[in-house]
């Protein structure tokens, strides 16, 4: 996730236009529905990959470009939009980004060829990076200052819900009708978000503009630079493999309905893991991040070895869900500490590097899947996780209590999966 050039959420003052508590919370709800729609659209192909590949007669690895392309575009738009937007009213930008999301879903739903499908997915990526650049900052300005953390948590609940039910729901709709209807259903959801944003979002004039020099300054510092590398390795480990989890489960003799149930279980357990780890992040940030990264590594390493034992595969997938449910919170707090004096630049680079990891990870993973098979791809992901652990342990030891000095109280409540 990313933050606009505004004070931290817990101290941001609400705009005068949000004097009505009910209208303010309805505006927050409109952004929440948008967050749900964005994340659902981003990861919808994960559950639909086999069907889409069959429709367009492409290999599963090639179909994985539906995840790679949005990641590339979002990585560019995350910092790029803030640099280009200047002082344009944030309400207008949020509405335009939602329009782009609607166009992306409709183009994907009715694409007659795979290249046009990728155009639709590129449109999603261009909107995605910008949306996360603005959404959380808007939350802090829609309600009164003391309610800002709850507003941010509400918007991120949309992310959590998309993680829990978005992808499996898309798979369920595809099983009932077709994968195209999954995109149509998401387009209907986006339309609801768009109408509610037009009706409910107040004017959100820009207070400041992100400067390119802030990004350069941060990248030149060793600690933030190495932190970004660590984040890229960990997220790359996940998405190089998770993109192809549905084809893997097919090779493990899971039926369509069982795949839907397993993906739902992955999301549900990740939801609870996110909140469970928040108890430890304030005191044991480095240890918590190391533990969940090791669990990710174990899951990726063992799944190909267990593919003929369905119950064990299910258990490992759930363990993977525990790991990735906690990772976004851990790395979010870590990056806040890596750039305490330049939070806007740090957030822009953070969301950008995550999108790069999604794009490169899914792309390299797709190449490995097509040329060497899914098991090799999962082992490749485990190697990236090991490199992430090595990078983590290369940081000089710090007091976990000192790390927890960041506002984890609000962060633990509101931070969740970013990509």
Residue 323 has pLDDT above 50, yes or no: yes
Q: What is the pLDDT of residue 418?
A: 33
Q: Find the mean pLDDT for residues 21-26.
A: 84
**Residue predicted with more confidence, 154 or 363:** 363
Inter-CA distances, 51 with 46, 216, 264, 396, Å: 10, 43, 18, 47
**Residue predicted with more confidence, 12 or 55:** 55
Q: What is the pLDDT of residue 185?
A: 93
The model's pLDDT over 65-86, given as tens digits with 9 standing for 90+, comes to 898 898 888 888 878 877 777 6
Q: Find the mean pLDDT for residues 100-118.
A: 96
Percent of the chain with pLDDT over 90: 36
**Residue predicted with more confidence, 347 or 57:** 57
Q: How confident is the model at residue 399 (pLDDT cuts 50, 70, 90)?
A: very low
Q: 97-111, 161-175, 245-259, 321-335: which range is least confident on average?
A: 161-175
Residue 88 has pLDDT above 90, yes or no: no
What would be the CATH architecture of the domain defined by 9-414? Up-down Bundle (1.20)
* Distance from C-alpha of 342 to C-alpha of 337, rounded to nearest angstrom: 10
Q: What is the pLDDT of residue 71?
A: 83
Question: Average per-residue pLDDT in the chain?
Answer: 81
Residue 192 has pLDDT above 50, yes or no: yes
* Distance from C-alpha of 170 to C-alpha of 191, rounded to nearest angstrom: 17
Give 21: exposed, middle or buried? Use CB within 10 Å, 0-12, 13-18, 19+: exposed
Q: Find the mean pLDDT for residues 294-316.
A: 93
Inter-CA distances, 129 with 84, 168, 195, 337, Å: 13, 23, 21, 22
Q: How confident is the model at residue 189 (pLDDT cuts 50, 70, 90)?
A: very high
Closest CA to 361 of 237, 226, 227: 237
Report which secondary-structure segment, H or E, holds 12.
Answer: none
Closest CA to 231 of 126, 357, 146: 357
* Buried/exposed code over 32-41 (b: 16+ C-beta within 10 A; e: otherwise): bbbbbbbbbb
Q: 109-113, 145-149, 255-259, 267-271: which range is least confident on average?
A: 145-149
Per-domain residue ranges of the chain: 9-414
The model's pLDDT over 43-57, given as tens digits with 9 standing for 90+, comes to 888 778 888 999 999
Q: Where are the beta strands (DSSP E) in 221-294?
A: none
Q: How confident is the model at residue 387 (pLDDT cuts 50, 70, 90)?
A: very high
Q: How confident is the model at residue 368 (pLDDT cuts 50, 70, 90)?
A: very high
What's the pTM? Answer: 0.71
* Region for 253 from its dihedrals, namely left if φ exceeds 0, alpha if ψ lies in -120 to 50, beta otherwise: left
Q: What is the pLDDT of residue 37?
A: 92
Inter-CA distances, 202 with 42, 96, 199, 290, 296, Å: 27, 15, 9, 42, 42
Q: How confident is the model at residue 391 (pLDDT cuts 50, 70, 90)?
A: very high
**Residue predicted with more confidence, 12 or 344:** 344
Q: What is the pLDDT of residue 15?
A: 45
Residue 13 has pLDDT above 90, yes or no: no
Q: Find the mean pLDDT for residues 188-193.
A: 94
Give the range with max mean pLDDT: 135-144, 311-320, 339-348.
311-320
Report which secondary-structure segment, H or E, holds 20.
Answer: none
Residue 14 has pLDDT above 50, yes or no: no
The model's pLDDT over 245-300, given as tens digits with 9 standing for 90+, comes to 988 998 888 988 888 888 888 888 887 887 787 777 767 889 999 999 999 999 99
Q: Find the mean pLDDT for residues 120-135.
A: 86
Number of H helices, E strands in the chain: 18, 0
Q: Find the mean pLDDT for residues 165-174.
A: 80
The tokens 């209208």 sit on which residue?
Answer: 23
C-alpha angle 231-70-113 in degrees, rounded to nearest 5: 150
Residue 229 has pLDDT above 50, yes or no: yes
Q: What is the pLDDT of residue 80?
A: 80
Closest CA to 14 of 156, 193, 149: 149
Closest CA to 363 of 249, 239, 234, 228: 239
Q: What is the pLDDT of residue 1?
A: 37
Q: What is the pLDDT of residue 7?
A: 38
């Amino acid at each position: 996730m990313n933050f606009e050039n505004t004070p931290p959420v817990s101290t941001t003052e609400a705009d005068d236009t949000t004097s009505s508590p009910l209208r303010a919370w309805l505006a927050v709800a409109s952004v929440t529905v948008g967050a749900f729609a964005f994340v659902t659209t981003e990861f919808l192909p994960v559950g639909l990959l086999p069907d889409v590949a069959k429709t367009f007669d492409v290999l599963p690895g090639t179909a994985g470009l539906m995840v790679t392309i949005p990641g590339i575009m979002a990585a560019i738009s995350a910092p790029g939009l803030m640099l280009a937007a200047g002082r344009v009213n944030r309400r207008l930008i949020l509405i335009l980004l939602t329009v782009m999301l609607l166009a992306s879903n409709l183009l994907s739903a009715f694409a007659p060829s795979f290249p046009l499908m990728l155009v639709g997915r590129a449109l999603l990526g261009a909107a995605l990076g910008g949306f996360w650049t603005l959404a959380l900052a808007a939350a802090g300005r829609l309600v009164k200052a003391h309610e800002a953390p709850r507003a941010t948590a509400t918007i991120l609940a949309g992310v959590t819900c998309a993680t829990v039910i978005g992808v499996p729901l898309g798979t369920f709709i595809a099983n009932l009708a077709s994968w195209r209807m999954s995109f149509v259903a998401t387009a209907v959801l986006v339309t609801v978000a768009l109408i509610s944003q037009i009706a409910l979002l107040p004017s959100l004039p820009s207070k400041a503009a992100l400067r390119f020099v802030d990004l350069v300054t941060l990248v030149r510092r060793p600690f933030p630079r190495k932190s970004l590398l660590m984040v890229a390795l960990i997220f790359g480990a996940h998405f190089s493999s998770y993109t192809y989890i549905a084809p893997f489960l097919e090779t493990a003799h899971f039926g369509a309905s069982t795949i839907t149930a397993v993906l739902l279980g992955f999301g549900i357990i990740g939801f609870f893991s996110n909140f469970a780890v928040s108890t430890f992040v304030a005191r044991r940030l480095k240890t918590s991040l190391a533990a969940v990264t090791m669990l990710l590594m174990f899951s990726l390493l063992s799944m190909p070895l267990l593919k003929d034992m369905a119950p064990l595969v299910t258990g490992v997938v759930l363990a993977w869900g525990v790991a990735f449910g906690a990772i976004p919170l851990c790395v979010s707090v870590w990056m806040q500490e890596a750039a305490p004096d330049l939070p806007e630049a740090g957030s822009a680079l953070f969301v950008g590097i995550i999108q790069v990891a999604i794009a490169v990870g899914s792309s390299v993973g797709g190449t490995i899947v097509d040329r060497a098979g899914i098991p090799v791809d999962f082992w490749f992901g485990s190697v990236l996780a090991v490199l992430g652990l090595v990078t983590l342990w290369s940081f000089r030891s710090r007091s976990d209590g000192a790390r927890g000095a960041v506002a984890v109280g609000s962060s633990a409540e509101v931070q969740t999966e970013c990509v």
